[in-house]
Amino acid sequence: MQRFAELLALRYDMTRTRHAYYRCLRLVHEYFRCDPALLGEDQLRSYILHVKSRKHWKPKTIRQTAAAARLFFVEMLEQEERKVFSQIRTRDHGELPAVLTREEVRQLLAGIRLRRYRIPLKLIYCAGLRLSECLGLTVHDIKGDEGKLWVRGG
C-alpha cells in the first residue's frame, strides 16, 4: 500500500484523486483482509460484483475502483491486464441533483449571520464555484470594472 501511495503521488497532482484511488484499494484490502497484491482475478471479480449488486455503489464509483485496481495490478505490479477490467460495464443513470428554489437559497443565505461566511457562499452559488476554487480566490482575482472573476485551478 505504501508503494501504491507513492505511485499515486508521482502520477496525480490532485490530492482528492490520490485519496480516492488509495481509498478504493484500501477497501479491497479491508474486504479480503489480505494484501491486495495476492488477489486473483476471480477475487477481484467477486469484489466488483459485491459492490455493484449488494452495496449498490454508483457507476462512477465502480469505474473509479476498477481504474484504481488496474493502476495497482497492471501499472504498479506489472501484471498482465485482467479480463475483468474489460468486462465492467456501468451506465450513469442520468439523475439530476435536487436544486433549491430561489426562495430556499434566499432563506438559506439569510440564515447566515456573519458576513464573512455569507459572502463566500453567495459567490459559490452565483458563480458556480467549487469550494476549493472559492478558497483560492484573492482580492486581485476580482476584475469588477470588467465584470470578471479569475478562477485558478478550476
> What is the per-residue pLDDT across 101-128, written as a single tens digit (0 to 9) for each?
999 999 999 999 999 999 999 999 999 9
**CB burial string 96-132: b at 16+ within 10 A, e below:** eeeeeeeeeeeeeeeeeeeeeeeebeebeeeeebeee
3-state secondary structure of 4: helix
In the chain, domain spans: 2-87, 102-149
How far apart, in whole angstroms, are the C-alpha atoms of residue 26 and residue 32? Answer: 10
pLDDT at 95: 80
pLDDT at 11: 94
pTM: 0.65
Report the CATH number of the 2-87 domain: 1.10.150.130
> What is the per-residue pLDDT across 21-65, written as a single tens digit (0 to 9) for each?
999 999 999 999 999 999 999 999 999 999 999 999 999 999 999
Burial of 45 (0-12, 13-18, 19+ CB in 10 A): middle
Q: Is the pLDDT of residue 153 over 80?
A: no
